[in-house]
C-alpha cells in the first residue's frame, strides 16, 4: 500500500523554520492499525504527524477526521498538527472544510482573510492539578494544568531570557508518566513549558518567550501554548470579565526554528472558567512524497 503525504512548517511563513508536521492522506476504505500508524510516526521522527482521513470519492463533506501521533504515542489533540492540517486543507488544497475531528472533539477552522492565518477553535477541558513541581530556575513550586485530558504541562515563569537559556529539562522526568496528575486525569503526556513575559505587541497581545520540553525540546507547541493562555487568563483580574484575552508566544528561538503562536481566550460569565480558546498561526508547505505500508 502506498500513501501520499505532505510536510509543512507550522507557526511560520518561512520554510525550514517553525515546527514541522507530516500530513499523511488515508483514502476512504483504507484501514491502518495502531501499530502501523505508530511505526509511520516513529519513521518520520517528528514531534507529531497527522493521518488525514479522506472522504469517499464523489462525496462532499465539510468535515475531516484526523489522528495525531507523536513518535511514541497517539494523542487526543495537539496544536501545531491542527494548524498545519488546517492550512493544508484551506490554503494548500483550497478545500471547503469547516471542521476537523480529533479524538478530543470537533474543531472549527477558518482562514483569516486579513492576516492569512488559520484559526482553530480548539476543544478544551482546562484543569489545574493539585500537584506542583519545583524548578531550580525560579526556586518555587510551579503549577501543572491540562488543556484536555491527556495533554498536560507544567508552567514555569522565569524572570528573564538569561534564565530561559538555562532551561534544559522536563520537570516530569518521564514525559509519558502522568501518575502525578489528579485522579481521572492520568493519561497521555506531561511536559514543561518555561516562559518569560515580554510586554505587549502592537495588537495589544501580551507577549511571552517560551520553551517546551517533553522527551526532547519541541520548537512550537500549540497545545501547551493554549493551556498556558488559559492559565494566564485565569490570573487576570475578575473585573475584566470575559475578555477576550490575547497572547502571542514566541517559541523555538534557541533551536533555530522560531515559532509565532497566537492564542485568544474568552472567560465565562463574571470572569469564571473558560468559555472559548482560539489558536492561530501560519504554515508553509515543504515536501511532498509517498510512503510504503
For 26-57, the pLDDT digits (tens) are 999 999 999 999 999 999 999 999 999 999 98
pLDDT at 27: 96
For 49-102, the pLDDT digits (tens) are 999 999 998 888 999 999 999 999 999 999 999 999 999 999 999 999 999 999
pLDDT at 113: 84
The answer on pLDDT for 18 being more than 90 is: yes
Average pLDDT estimate for 14-22? 97
pLDDT at 208: 98
Chain mean pLDDT for the chain: 96
How many whole angstroms separate alpha carbon 292 and alpha carbon 36? Answer: 11
pLDDT at 116: 84
DSSP states of 11-80 as a string? S-SSTTSSEEEEEEEE-TT----HHHHHHHHHHHTSS-EEEEEPPPTT---SEEEEEEE-SS-EES--HH
For 178-214, the pLDDT digits (tens) are 999 999 999 999 999 999 999 999 889 999 999 999 9
pLDDT at 287: 97
**Between residues 162 and 270, which one has the greater pLDDT?**
162
pLDDT at 6: 98
Question: pLDDT category, 115, cuts 50, 70, 90?
Answer: confident
Amino acid at each position: 500500500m502506498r500513501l501520499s503525504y505532505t510536510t509543512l512548517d507550522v507557526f511560520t511563513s518561512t520554510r525550514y523554520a517553525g515546527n514541522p508536521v507530516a500530513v499523511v492522506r488515508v483514502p476512504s476504505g483504507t484501514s491502518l492499525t495502531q501499530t502501523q500508524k505508530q511505526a509511520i510516526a516513529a519513521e518520520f521522527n517528528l514531534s507529531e504527524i497527522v493521518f488525514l482521513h479522506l472522504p469517499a470519492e464523489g462525496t462532499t463533506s465539510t468535515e475531516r477526521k484526523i489522528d495525531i501521533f507523536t513518535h511514541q504515542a497517539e494523542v487526543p489533540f495537539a496544536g501545531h498538527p491542527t494548524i498545519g492540517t488546517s492550512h493544508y486543507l484551506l490554503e494548500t488544497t483550497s478545500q471547503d472544510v469547516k471542521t476537523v475531528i480529533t479524538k478530543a472533539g470537533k474543531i472549527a477552522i477558518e482562514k483569516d482573510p486579513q492576516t492569512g492565518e488559520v484559526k482553530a477553535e480548539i476543544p478544551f477541558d482546562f484543569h489545574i492539578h493539585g500537584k506542583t513541581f519545583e524548578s531550580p530556575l525560579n526556586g518555587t513550586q510551579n503549577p501543572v494544568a491540562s488543556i484536555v485530558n491527556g495533554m498536560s504541562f507544567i508552567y514555569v515563569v522565569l524572570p528573564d531570557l538569561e534564565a530561559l537559556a538555562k532551561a534544559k529539562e522536563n520537570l516530569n522526568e518521564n514525559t509519558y508518566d502522568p501518575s502525578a496528575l489528579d485522579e481521572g486525569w492520568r493519561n497521555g503526556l506531561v511536559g514543561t513549558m518555561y516562559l518569560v513575559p515580554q510586554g505587549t505587541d502592537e495588537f495589544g497581545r501580551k507577549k511571552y518567550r517560551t520553551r517546551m520540553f517533553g522527551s526532547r525540546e519541541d520548537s512550537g507547541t500549540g497545545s501547551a501554548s493554549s493551556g498556558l493562555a488559559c492559565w494566564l487568563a485565569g490570573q487576570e483580574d475578575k473585573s475584566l470579565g470575559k475578555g477576550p484575552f490575547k497572547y502571542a508566544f514566541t517559541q523555538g528561538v534557541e533551536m533555530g526554528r522560531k515559532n509565532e503562536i497566537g492564542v485568544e481566550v474568552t472567560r465565562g460569565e463574571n470572569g469564571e472558567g473558560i468559555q472559548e480558546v482560539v489558536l492561530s498561526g501560519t504554515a508553509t508547505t515543504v515536501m511532498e512524497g509517498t510512503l510504503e505500508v
